[in-house]
Amino acid sequence: MKYTQYSRKKKGSSAFYIIIALCLIVVGVAAWFGFSSMSDNKAEKNLSSMESQFESEIDQYQSDLDEYVSDTPSYTDNESDSSYDANESGEVEDKNSDHTASAEAQKVKAYSMPVNGEILKDFNTKALQFSATYNDMRIHAAVDIACHEGTLVSAVADGKVQDIENSAEFGKTVTIDHGDGLVIKYCGLKNITAEKDTSVRMGDSIGAVGTVPCECADQSHLHIEAYQNGKSISILDFFK
């Protein structure tokens, strides 16, 4: 009898604990499903929000792109190439033209005749010319320009007075270095106003026409000799 009652009590307690355990399991499962459902809903909401924001940004980008394309002028390949070539080649040509013009401007130098008059005797180092003073034929490596005695003589170009001398053959002579290898001797002068080692400008008066002893039998004239890098040349080459 006692055993039976004890057994019933033990069985009742076990059943009670089993029911409690099952209840706890049910509650746990229900809680897990509830939490899972809430997480899924939250994740879906977050995902939905991100998708909406991304779509909004895509729409804004597409709108900006359409606006940029509509404002940009369209060109064909040929038009683009020709425009580029024209601009680039134009700039290069302009620069080259400016450089060439500048170089040519530096090379161009002004010259003026020292006196006005007819050429009495021209430059010639190959053929002999008659000398009335010596009554013979000889080389004439100079240019004689006919003019009255006392005519003012001017510098052919800018330069520096290299020397002033007086010789028995050519009389008073002013030698001017005109730069670029050009040296000119103005012979048979008088009343010289130029000074040695001073600069002169083209057209400046350096003296007046006097007498050239070795050509004193000829008509009054200016005897002028020119040298380019030490080689005798005709002054008239600069006026051709």
Across the range 49-62, mean pLDDT stands at 61
pLDDT digits (tens, 9 = 90+) for 105-127: 445 689 999 999 999 999 999 99
Q: Report yes or no on 221 lying in a domain.
A: yes
CA 115 to the chain's CA centroid: 42
Provide the residue range defining the domain that includes 138: 119-239
- pLDDT tops 70 at residue 198: yes
Predicted local distance difference test score (pLDDT) of residue 178: 97
Q: Among the listed ranges 2-6, 51-55, 93-97, 177-181, which one has the minimum average pLDDT value?
A: 2-6
Q: Report yes or no on 139 lying in a domain.
A: yes
Residue matched to tokens 């040929």: 78
* Residue 57 confidence class, pLDDT cut points 50, 70, 90: low
Q: Report yes or no on 46 lying in a domain.
A: no
Q: Report yes or no on 140 lying in a domain.
A: yes
pTM to 2 decimals? 0.57
Q: Structural domain tally of the chain?
A: 1
The CATH number linked to 140 is 2.70.70.10
**Considering Cα of 32, then 34, then 35, then 37, what sign does the dihedral take?**
positive
pLDDT digits (tens, 9 = 90+) for 44-55: 555 566 656 656
* b/e per residue 100-113 (b: at least 16 CB within 10 A): eeeeeeeeeeebee
- Single-letter residue type at 160: K
Q: Report yes or no on 187 lying in a domain.
A: yes
- pLDDT tops 60 at residue 72: no
Q: What is the CA radius of gyration of the chain?
A: 56
- Six-digit token string for 230: 């030490």
pLDDT digits (tens, 9 = 90+) for 15-36: 666 667 676 776 665 666 555 5
- pLDDT tops 50 at residue 76: no
Q: Report yes or no on 125 lying in a domain.
A: yes
Residue 188 DSSP label: E
Separation between Cα atoms, residue 32 and residue 29, nearest integer Å:
5
Q: Report yes or no on 173 lying in a domain.
A: yes
Predicted local distance difference test score (pLDDT) of residue 24: 73
- pLDDT tops 90 at residue 139: yes
Q: Is the distance from CB of 210 to CB of 149 less than 8 angstroms? A: yes
Angle at 153 between CA 140 and CA 161, to 5 degrees: 85
Q: Report yes or no on 156 lying in a domain.
A: yes
